[in-house]
Amino acid sequence: MSIIYVDLIDACHMKCPTCVRGTRLLPNSSRRIPMEQFERIVEKAKHEGYENVGLYNWTEPFLNARIADYIRVVKSLGLHCEVSTTLSFRGRTALIEESLRAGLNKLIVSVSGFTQEIHQINHRGGDLAMVKANLEHISQLMAQEPIKTQILLRFLRFDHNREQEPLVADYAQWLGFAFEPLQGVGTADNPVSNYAHQESFLKRLRDYSPARLQMHDGEVCPLIMDTVAVDANGMVSLCCANPNYPALEIGPYLDLTRDEILVRRYAHPLCPSCTFPRRDATTADRKRLLHALSVRLKAPQETESPEASPEDRSDISTDLGTNGMLDDIKGRLKRWRAFG
């Protein structure tokens, strides 16, 4: 199911060393996405074929006291809605209840230990007693009310916490929740502030080579084809696997056509050096790429995109228009035509 991630807020209270937000490489701000802007984003996303709206990316969504109103907007448009949270806070019981009652489809709760001692190694600043109190409250609430939200307890697995994984799995079962282990990225003793600052991305961009070292014909990045991430300023980021640094911004979601967003991301100079696993392109992927690249180059339309709207064909100037990048895009168009 294709998903758009939208940050409701530009902050997280935790200090996870494995996270650009936790280390404040992405500094917290007081920014909250205005409701009217959010509504327009979700409407556009629905029009573009997104079926799922995740109210998170590099943030803690429950810090926005209007979270239930945002969920209602998503549900009023008939879309699937999910939230990922730490539940590491007190005094927000009513907000949690209101969010579940608003029709939230999925609540993902991330922990990295079963004891406070282990949990706080990665979830720095977290309070596992509060997490458990909130989880147990949700479990009781769902036993009393016809709430359909799927609760997923996610265990972030690192070398230092492997022994506690079965304990968390048993706890999830006891609560009646789903359980999912997920391999954590990085290590707590080597914070991302040592290597993932914006300058390191700028260096990779400066070192851009069209050699496409990690990219192969016939393959696509699933994050580009199946997801899009929009921050609390309404800006599209390259992908949810990388920080939403200004250097990696694609442009304002509401001002760009679906095709333009696809081309800007697909031709992004960071991707050739990225090792994120690709997948084989589907027929639908090929059609979308052919269509978007043709529009970008004003080439004759060989394919009609099923969901394409009239505004998708509009002429939008971009800042990717260097000769080198255009040549690269032309090369890609040629190759996809050969595949098409």
Binds ligand SF4 (CB under 6 A): choice among 4, 8, 16, 111: 16
Out of 274, 281, 289, 292, name the contact with ligand SF4 by CB under 6 A.
Answer: 274
Q: State which residue, 43 or 219, has the beta carbon closest to ligand SF4.
A: 219
Q: Which of 86, 99, 120, 161 binds ligand SF4 (CB under 6 A)?
A: 86
Least Å from the CB of residue 3 to ligand SF4: 14
In the complex, minimum distance from the CB of residue 188 to ligand SF4, in angstroms, rounded to a whole number: 11
Binding of residue 223 to ligand SF4 (CB under 6 A): yes
Q: Is 158 in the site for ligand SF4 (CB under 6 A)?
A: no
Residue 300's identity, in one-letter code, is P
Q: Does 108 bind ligand SF4 (CB under 6 A)?
A: no
Per CB under 6 A, 151 contacts ligand SF4 = no
Q: Does 54 bind ligand SF4 (CB under 6 A)?
A: no
Interacting residue with ligand SF4 among 64, 99, 237, 242 (CB under 6 A):
242
| Minimum distance of ligand SF4 from residue 270's CB (angstroms) | 5
Instruction: Considering only the stretches 2-10, 237-245, 254-262, 322-330, report the one whose residues sit in contact with ligand SF4 under the rule CB under 6 A.
Output: 237-245
Shortest distance, CB of residue 301 to ligand SF4, whole angstroms?
26
Q: How many CA atoms lie within 13 A of 31 on its CB side?
A: 17
- x/- string (CB under 6 A) for ligand SF4, residues 192-221? -----------------------------x
Q: Which residues bind ligand SF4 (CB under 6 A)?
A: 12, 14, 16, 19, 21-22, 58-60, 86, 221, 223-224, 238-239, 241-242, 268, 270-271, 274, 276
